[in-house]
Amino acid sequence: MGIATGMPMLSLILRVKINMRRIIFLFVITPVFFYVSAQKTVQYSDSIRTLYNIPEISYAVVEAKAIVEIAALGKHSINLPDTATLNDRFHLGSNTKAMTAFIIAAYVERGKLNWSTRFFDLFPEWKKGSNTAYANITLLDLLSHRAGIQPFQGEDDVQIPNFKGTDQERRKQFGRFALTLNPVKPDEKNPFIYSNAGYTLAALMLERVTGKSWEQLVEKVFNKDLNLNVKFSWPENQLHKDTWGHTYEENKLVPVSSAKGAHLDYTEPAGDLNIKLKDYITFIQLNLQGLQGQNNYLKAKTYNYIHKGVENYSLGWFNIYENGKELSVHSGTGAFTYFTIVHIDRLKNIAYIIFTNSFNDNTTQGVRLLMRKLKENHGS
């Protein structure tokens, strides 16, 4: 376990006080013991951040219409003096999947698609030349990882040709290529085959019926309709003071500049958005409201299907039943530089969100401990 050299104690105390001023505003109508618990959580979180050498941690505990607890701790980069703020952006990695599924669900509600729409009903010209095992795959199969598409998770991937053209054109070429490959078959231990490429194919179906690119649909649904501030790829840390992702090389953290262009190719709908914690909270609260039976941007029955419609992995969410609990869970890392995680307790109607700007075993262990602490404090 790597242990970082901590900041001077005075600096730590001042930072905790600054964060507590932010939290006081959110706790003006809550009981005193909740405030004290939040204060202790900030201190605990910062000790975890320091012990596990995580440059920045931002976290929140939210209910359907309230932020119970929120804080931003640490630094944008290990090599910079910039301190964390609640306006910092984080790469979502695979937590993008739930957002892509959300967009698709909106167009299913509008009748543009059905969950049972077959891929080759929309791309009949691709059927010849594709592996026959995919002949009847549906939109639902792709979003729930039941289509057997090769994973393309960055390790042991099939060699991909160097496609040319716009992002949308290259995604189409990649999708067509992925469909020529042999499928991966599920078994008793693996009831689904987690596939980033599957989400590219699902996005291609959406693009075909709307006539718009995935990027245009992200802009419309999240930025125009919902007034969120969602952006693509890595947070821009060269023009603005913002987070740097950190890789782990030769037993040390290495900050990654957004100028390096270490961005996803072809599987952007599976994992290539960035967002501020406060805007992500709004997205999660829409889901919480829907799971409580309230219609908002989507209908309540749609949220229920998104989260619970398919066993094990539903539509952008792991669907978990264990120890008398019902959870929607997902984590994400963008090219091993950020790590984000969200747990939705569907029975208690509360969600726990943690964003970090590093990824290694230390990061995941620290996040695991913080998640456990947040749940202990709030009865999950």
Percentage of the chain with pLDDT > 70? 89
Residues 131-190: pLDDT tens digits?
A: 999 999 999 999 999 999 999 987 778 889 999 999 899 999 999 999 999 999 988 888
Q: What is the pLDDT of residue 263?
A: 59
Whether 351 contacts 345, CB under 8 Å: yes
Instruction: Please list the residues that pair with 59 across neighbouring strands.
Output: 71, 354
Whether 199 contacts 305, CB under 8 Å: no
Whether 231 contacts 273, CB under 8 Å: yes
pLDDT band at 121 (very low <50, low <70, confident <90, very high): very high
pLDDT beyond 90 at 373: yes
pLDDT band at 63 (very low <50, low <70, confident <90, very high): very high
pLDDT beyond 50 at 307: yes
160, HSE (Cβ side, Cα atoms, 13 Å): 24
Q: Angle at CA 291, nearest 5°, toward 307 and 57?
A: 75
Distance between CA 276 and CA 283 in Å, rounded?
Answer: 11
Those residues whose C-beta lies under 8 Å from the C-beta of residue 66, and which sit 6 or more positions away, are none
Q: What average pLDDT does range 87-101 have in this prediction?
A: 97
The region of weakest confidence among 211-215, 216-220, 237-241 is: 237-241
Does residue 370 sit in helix, strand or coil?
A: helix
DSSP state string for 318-367: EEEEETTEEEEEEEE-STTS-EEEEEEETTTTEEEEEEES--SHHHHHHH
Q: Which of 12, 225, 254, 189 is nearest to 99 (CA)?
A: 225
Cα→Cα distances 139→113, 214, 292, Å:
9, 15, 26
Does residue 72 sit in helix, strand or coil?
A: strand
pLDDT band at 331 (very low <50, low <70, confident <90, very high): very high
pTM over 0.75: yes
Q: How many other CB atoms are found less than 10 A from the CB of residue 104? A: 30
- What separation, in Å, do the N-terminal and C-terminal C-alpha atoms of the chain show? 28
Q: What is the pLDDT of residue 261?
A: 56
Whether 247 contacts 49, CB under 8 Å: no
Give, in words, the CATH class of 99-212. Answer: alpha beta
pLDDT band at 35 (very low <50, low <70, confident <90, very high): low
Q: Which residue has better confidence, 246 or 15?
A: 246
Domain boundaries, the chain: 99-212
Give alpha helix (H) positions in the chain. 9-26, 32-51, 96-109, 119-122, 139-143, 167-178, 196-210, 214-218, 268-271, 277-291, 300-308, 361-377
Q: How many other CB atoms are found less than 10 A from the CB of residue 308? A: 17
Q: What is the pLDDT of residue 27?
A: 37
Q: Which residue has better confidence, 340 or 15?
A: 340
Residue type present at position 101:
A
Distance between CA 337 and CA 196 in Å, rounded?
Answer: 17
